[in-house]
Amino acid sequence: MSGFGYNVLGFGTVAGVAASTELTYFLVGGGGGGGGTGNNLTRAGGGGGGGVRSSSSAFEFTSGTEYSITIGAGGSGFTFGSAAVGGTTESDIDSIGVQGGGGGGEHNNNSVASVNAPNSGAGGGGGGGRGARASTRGTGGDFGNDGGTGTGGAFSGGIADGLTGNSKAGGGGGASQFDNYAGGDGGAGVTTTITGSSETFGGGGAGGMASNTLSEGTAGAGGGGAGGKSGAGTAGTANTGGGAGGRGQSSGLGANGGSGVFIISTEATAAATTGSPTVTQSGTFNIYRFTGSGSITF
């Protein structure tokens, strides 16, 4: 891209651009897929929430420049050997991007498919049973928290930090202890008021359970999915970056994570957009919400 950092002055109403040349943004990666297993006493881990990032200062856009936006898909659930990491959400605006959440762990497995996934958002939760462990957040950026562990340790996902330039999304929920079978709760996501109202994104998926007498994990606030009780967990909510809940009490596939989102707030009016963003107003600000890939030109 070219034109970053220019402070365009004095162009009045050229191409429909307002006097302000600044915008702020909030972006969320796709959530991780939920865990599953071939074991009929499943208590699989939930997927991690997608990475979350907001602008630390207003970005000065260049009139007439088209800025592309790519929205990450949610990760697919466990497919007998693979629990996918969610997709990347990125933009030419400020040359930024965040990764998707880690996939949830399989029951009775010493690893999860996305352990230490490079540049991932929040880590996925560990599955229950022998040697289970959580995946950790990626090392390429401070975008998420570790997932909750499986047997022993902390069973719920990591709780998000406050909203900063490199915010943390919720970790996936771990399955609970071997002699308990209840599912761990998903970690909470990150709350923003960029749209003029309070919304939460990037919640972790909860762990599944393996007994009808106990409970599945509770979804992490911000689009995370609940853990499964006698089947797959709940999918992460679309366009929140929520991780999917882990499977409970039966063998089979995992649920999918929620896709990402990119939100722009500015007093300017776009000259053109692609990808059909939703446009709302909050006071003097125009809010552009991209739930699919596209572009914006001011």
Q: What mean pLDDT do residues 206-231 have? A: 81
pLDDT tens figures, 52-70: 888 888 999 999 999 999 9
Take residue 195 and report the two structure tokens written for it: 């749209």
pLDDT at 33 over 80: yes
CA dist list (Å): 114 to 32, 47, 83, 285, 297: 9, 10, 7, 39, 36
What's the CA gap between 267 and 289, in Å, rounded?
A: 14
- The SS3 assignment for 93 reads helix
Tokens 């446009």, residue?
279
Amino acid of residue 88: T
Answer left, alpha or beta for residue 87, where phi above 0 means left and psi between -120 and 50 means alpha.
beta
Q: What percent of the chain clears pLDDT 90, i.e. is strictly above it?
A: 32
Residue 170: closest CA among 152, 182, 186, 154: 186
Q: What mean pLDDT do residues 101-126 have? A: 58
pLDDT at 116 over 50: no
pLDDT at 171 over 80: no
Give the contacts of 265 (CB within 8 A, at least 6 positions apart).
Answer: 23, 24, 25, 194, 195, 282, 285, 286, 287, 288
Q: How confident is the model at residue 283 (pLDDT cuts 50, 70, 90)?
A: very high
Q: How confident is the model at residue 109 (pLDDT cuts 50, 70, 90)?
A: low
pLDDT at 184 over 60: yes
pLDDT tens figures, 117-130: 444 456 666 665 54
- The SS3 assignment for 276 reads coil
State residue 78 phi and psi, 5-degree precision.
-50, 130
The confidence score (pLDDT) of residue 50 equals 85
User: How many residues comprise the chain?
Assistant: 298
What's the CA gap between 275 and 70, in Å, rounded?
A: 10
pLDDT tens figures, 76-100: 887 765 666 788 889 999 998 888 8
Give the contacts of 215 (CB within 8 A, at least 6 positions apart).
Answer: 182, 183, 209, 229
Taking all residues of the chain, what is their mean pLDDT, rounded to a whole number?
A: 74
Q: How confident is the model at residue 111 (pLDDT cuts 50, 70, 90)?
A: very low
